[in-house]
Amino acid sequence: MTTIDADKSDPTAPQTTEQPWPNRRYAWFVVTLLVLAFTSSFIDRQIVSLLVGPIRADLGISDTQFSLLVGLAFSIFYSFCGLPIAYAADRYSRRWIITTGVFAWSIMTALCGLAGSFWQLFWARVGVGVGEATLTPSASSLISDYFPRERRGLAMAVYATGVYWGSGLALMIGGLVVRAVENAPPVVLPIVGELRAWQTVFFIVGLPGIILALLMLLIREPARRGAAPTSGEAQEKLAPVLPFLRKNIFTISSIFMGFTLLGMVVIAYLTWIPAIFMRSFGWDAAQIGLAFGAIVIVFGTGGILTGGFITDWLTRKGHQDAAVRAGLYGGTATIVLAAVAPLLPTPELIMAGTALALFASTSTQALPVVAIQFMTPNNLRARMAAIYFMVGSLLIFTGGPTTVALFTDYVFKDDTAVRYSLAAVCAIIAPIGVLLMFLALKPYRRSVAEAAAWE
């Protein structure tokens, strides 16, 4: 059977001969669709941060319980589903995996609007996380088959910056939706009855995702490229993970936890800054959504790109520890800025301080995978990155929101003290993260040198 026949019968099968790359315009059209999906996922994921007041009031829950809805409920399966979904994306139609995922998380977001108790909302949020876990593994695989190596970095960067575009638009669009719903007459559904305003918001942001899921069907499954050989010799060259982990345990654990603690700062800010402005200064969801959303887009995107630029600059200067050193610089700036910003006396100053704190903290968030790639032999990199995302995502999305809530509920015991909780948590975890990365510099340089020799 010829390669052309194989393509017609199974477009997802690994290809054995070089084929023309897809049309460049169409490839960027696919990236645009994937960014739209990423944006939708963050709207559905982040919208809950604008609804803290009415959800707490109607369900009778504490800040700690609310933080579990934001973090643990979403991340518990999001983190662990990444590996099996990535396995499926390497073998089956990525278009259908993404389409199914977009449809699933959109439906589950809408079902959040039917929740009448903490546990009903918790399990609906779990469903949102499971659906969203389908996107990034499949999108990354698609992009690698749509773009040649010399253009792949830009394509992946455009997709990656969608984190902050998505978060910012979630706040901006979500705030306007919340205001519109609050001023509109009550919505009454058959069987379900009258919906509260926050329940209606979940329906409004969730159901359009069904249309987006249909748009994902416009993606054509490209030929797979660079499939690994399956000979016995290749299998023997596949480096085992556990010996590498044991040999580099201090370096790996220091880097993983250092970057994770700084990631917790980012998520803590994204979760609780809206509550600070609503509780302490009387801003409504639309006001804080528009202002904070614009800051997340500009300073979050700027920060993550700056971190990459500094890493490349340090690498050109000959620093083998460039990625960790760049994270150390960003983390050091985060210590002061993130702890001080919530304590400033006026909302305008807090917003300005928040912009700087996000710029500093997000500058570290593209670097963990870069650091892993430098110190890890080629045939271990994918698995090490997957392990980092599994551990990091669970701790970042759960620990960031919940540690702040625990301080509010059990230390200050005052809902309006959430800004003091955010400042205290950042003042504790950011220095620990920076210290861990500082301690990792010397062993990390040794691991980088060993990886180069191993290859």
What would the pLDDT profile of 338-353 be if each residue is shown by its tens digit?
999 999 999 999 999 9
User: In the prediction, which pLDDT does 225 show?
Assistant: 64
Please report which confidence band the pLDDT of residue 195 belongs to, taking 50, 70 and 90 as the band edges: confident
Residue 232 has pLDDT above 50, yes or no: no
* Angle (nearest 5°) at CA 74 between 201 and 79: 150
Secondary structure in 3-state letters for the chain? CCHHHHHHHCCCCECCCCCCCCCHHHHHHHHHHHHHHHHHHHHHHHHHHHHHHHHHHHHCCCHHHHHHHHCHHHHHHHHHHHHHHHHHHCCCCHHHHHHHHHHHHHHHHHHHCCCCCHHHHHHHHHHHHHHHCCHHHHHHHHHHHHCCHHHHHHHHHHHHCHHHHHHHHHHHHHHHHHHHHHHCCCEEECCCEEECHHHHHHHHHHCCHHHHHHHHHHCCCCCECCCCCCCHHHHHCCCCHHHHHHHCHHHHHHHHHHHHHHHHHHHHHHHHHHHHHHHHCCCCHHHHHHHHHHHHHHHHHHHHHHHHHHHHHHHHCCCCCHHHHHHHHHHHHHHHHHHHHHHCCCHHHHHHHHHHHHHHHHCCCCHHHHHHHHHCCHHHHHHHHHHHHHHHHHHHHHHHHHHHHHHHHHHHCCHHHHHHHHHHHHHHHHHHHHHHHHHHHHHHHHHHHHHHHHC
Interatomic CA distance for residues 270 and 168, integer angstroms: 9
* pLDDT for 9: 41
pTM of the complete model: 0.78
360 pLDDT band (50/70/90 cuts)? very high
Q: What is the pLDDT of residue 237?
A: 47
What pLDDT shows up at residue 146?
Answer: 81
* Terminal-residue alpha carbon distance, the chain: 36
Q: Does residue 328 have a pLDDT over 80?
A: yes
CA 430 from chain center: how many Å? 19
Model confidence band, residue 234 (pLDDT cutoffs 50, 70, 90): very low
**CATH superfamily, domain at 20-221:** MFS general substrate transporter like domains (1.20.1250.20)
- What is the reported pLDDT for 151? 62
* Residue 179 confidence (pLDDT): 79
pLDDT for residue 157: 63
* pLDDT, tens only, 386-420: 678 778 888 888 889 999 999 999 999 999 999 99
Q: Which of 227-241, 247-261, 348-362, 422-436 has the lowest mean pLDDT?
A: 227-241
Domain ranges in the chain are: 20-221, 242-455
Q: What is the maximal distance between C-alpha atoms in the chain?
A: 73
Q: What percent of the chain has pLDDT over 90?
A: 31
Q: How many CB atoms lie within 10 A of CB 19?
A: 12
CATH, domain range 242-455: 1.20.1250.20
pLDDT averaged over the chain?
A: 82
